[in-house]
Chain A
Amino acid sequence: MGAEKEIIDTYVTAGQVKIIYWPITDIGPRSVDAAAAAHCVGEQNADLFWAYHDLLFENYGETYRGDRDYFIDQAAAVGADREVFAACFDEGESHAFVRELDQERRDMGILQRPTFDINGQFVYGAPPFETFDAVIQEALQ
């Protein structure tokens, strides 16, 4: 989400916008692993979820090739407990939860990656901040 930082700086810090992350796992088992890993980190602390979210996106090339050890190392890098994370990741409940969310968005007809639902107004792909800005401004009226 290239415009995310501007949305955060402009609207989230002002208390006008809340961002919810909903995983899409179209690229196979690694997609599920990445989203499940983020949820395992979030189980420890919601702040850590977003730190991990940002870290995985910033290093998407490595994340694409990431294995269990990579996800554990990244979790430790944002301050999560390594052992607790590994137990969560291996246990599989987060993987199942992520698959449920993925199926739910398919059932809602969200089929394009990425998709942004802004108070019911949909934005597709990765448009510039100005596109989000216009939709958010309309939603704030």
Chain B
Amino acid sequence: MQKLFIFSLLIMLAACSADATAPTPTAVPPEGQPAAATPLVVDEPPATVAATDDNGQPVIMDGRNEDGTFYRGAVDAPVTVIDYSDFL
């Protein structure tokens, strides 16, 4: 009886030790499916950064105002320069 108790105690200790060191299982995607991508940590861009094209070059937005004049730049830019000039 004492031997059985000691044997059981050793089994329990071994099980606890194995749990403490067991590696975290890695999820394996089902066959034929790609593994989930590791989420990227991306810094949020500052609000003042202008839009860029696929090559990273700044994109200048062109458009037309309700009064019929044309503008160049972000429609909500904090500063507006009205250029009164002649082509000649």
Residue ranges of A at the interface with B (Cβ–Cβ < 8 Å): 1, 4, 7-8, 11-27, 30-31, 34-35, 38-39, 42, 46-47, 49-50, 53, 56-57, 60, 63-64, 97, 101, 105, 110, 113-119, 132, 136, 139-140
Contacts and interface: CB of A to CB of B under 8 A. Distances in A.
Interface residues of B, number: 30
Given A42-B64, A42-B70, A46-B63, A18 B87 contact: no
Given A20-B83, A22-B84, A31-B86, A139 B78 contact: yes
Nearest to A119: B79
Nearest to A104: B67
Given A12-B72, A118-B79, 19 more contacts: A8-B60, A12-B73, A13-B58, A14-B48, A16-B77, A18-B72, A18-B77, A19-B71, A19-B72, A42-B70, A46-B62, A50-B62, A53-B70, A53-B87, A60-B87, A64-B88, A101-B68, A114-B85, A140-B79
